[in-house]
Amino acid sequence: AQSVTQLGSHVSVSEGALVLLRCNYSSSVPPYLFWYVQYPNQGLQLLLKYTTGATLVKGINGFEAEFKKSETSFHLTKPSAHMSDAAEYFCAVSEHAGGTSYGKLTFGQGTILTVHP
Amino acid sequence: DAGVIQSPRHEVTEMGQEVTLRCKPISGHDYLFWYRQTMMRGLELLIYFNNNVPIDDSGMPEDRFSAKMPNASFSTLKIQPSEPRDSAVYFCASTTGTPRGNQPQHFGDGTRLSIL
Name every chain A residue with its beta carbon within 8 A of the beta carbon of B33.
105
> What end-to-end distance do the CA atoms of chain B give, in Å?
36
Q: What are phi and psi of B83, to 5 degrees?
A: -130, 155
The predicted-structure confidence for B68-107, as pLDDT tens digits, reads as follows 999 999 999 999 999 999 999 999 999 987 655 677 889 9
Q: For residue B88, give the 3-state DSSP assignment.
A: strand
What are the angstrom distances between the C-alpha of A31 and each of A4, A28, A34, A106? 11, 8, 10, 11
Say what the pLDDT of residue B14 is. Answer: 96
Is A70 an interface residue toward B (CB < 8 Å)?
Answer: no
Say what the pLDDT of residue A47 is. Answer: 96
Residue of A nearest to B96 (CA): A102
- State how far the Cα of B82 lies from the Cα of B88, in Å rounded to an integer: 12
- State how far the Cα of B21 lies from the Cα of B105, in Å rounded to an integer: 19
Nearest to B82 by CA among B1, B14, B21: B14
How far does B16 lie from chain A, in Å, by closest CA? 26
The predicted-structure confidence for A8-50, as pLDDT tens digits, reads as follows 999 999 999 999 999 999 887 778 899 999 998 889 999 999 9
The predicted-structure confidence for B12-49, as pLDDT tens digits, reads as follows 999 999 999 999 999 999 999 999 999 888 899 999 99
Nearest to B49 by CA among B65, B25, B27: B25
Q: Count other C-beta atoms under 10 Å from residue A116's C-beta.
A: 11
Say what the pLDDT of residue A30 is. Answer: 74
Report chain A's mean pLDDT, rounded to a whole number.
90
Inter-chain CB proximity A32 and B102 less than 8 Å? yes
Say what the pLDDT of residue A102 is. Answer: 58
Say which DSSP state A102 is in: P
- State how far the Cα of B23 lies from the Cα of A88, in Å rounded to an integer: 23
Is A44 an interface residue toward B (CB < 8 Å)?
Answer: yes
Name every chain B residue with its beta carbon within 8 A of the beta carbon of A100.
50, 97, 99
The predicted-structure confidence for A53-94, as pLDDT tens digits, reads as follows 888 999 999 999 999 999 999 999 999 999 999 999 999 988
Say what the pLDDT of residue A28 is. Answer: 73
At A69, which amino acid appears? K
Inter-chain CB proximity B101 and A32 less than 8 Å? yes
